[in-house]
Amino acid sequence: MILVTVTEISKRISSFEMSGHADYAEHGQDLVCAGASAVSFGAVNAVMELTGVEPDIQQATSGFLKVSFPDNLNDKTDEQVQLLVRAMIVSLKTIEQDYEEYIKITFTA
């Protein structure tokens, strides 16, 4: 199962972490894993490309990704980052609705 943990402090998403594998299908054919990966990497790339923000990214080959966003951004840039990250969460929730036994999203403070 893919576990997604979103850390939200004072209505601001400060980081998210993804770990595990969906095991929906064989490696290379797992659409849940591919979808979650595409959504998360696409959102991080959009943050970097569209806002110029460089988040702290930790990644491992075993299906682990942790992305932390700077907390010293100006208000406008932070709003843009938050919008992109929240859009990612909406997409991940859509995957979770259809494949709830393969991906779980939780929120923590």
pLDDT tens digit at each of 109 positions of the chain: 999 999 999 999 999 999 998 988 887 788 999 999 999 999 999 999 999 999 999 999 778 999 999 999 999 999 999 999 999 999 999 999 999 999 999 999 9
Domain ranges of the chain: 2-108
Tell me the residue type at 24.
Answer: Y
> 21 catalytic, yes or no?
yes
Q: Is 27 a catalytic residue?
A: no
**Active-site option among 2, 32, 33, 85:** 33
Q: What is the pLDDT of residue 105?
A: 97
Contact present, 32 and 98 (Cβ < 8 Å): no
Look at residue 26 in the predicted model and tell me its pLDDT: 81
pTM to 2 decimals? 0.92
Point out the catalytic residue in the list 21, 34, 68, 82. Answer: 21
* pLDDT computed for residue 23 by the predictor: 86
The CATH number, out of the four listed (1.10.3720.10, 3.30.70.1490, 3.60.10.10, 3.90.78.10), of the domain defined by the range 2-108:
3.30.70.1490
pLDDT score at 61: 78
Asked if 9 and 109 count as a contact pair (C-beta separation under 8 A), the reply is yes
- What's the confidence (pLDDT) of residue 28? 77
Taking a C-beta distance cutoff of 8 angstroms, is the pair 32, 21 a contact? no
The DSSP bridge partners found for residue 104 are: 3
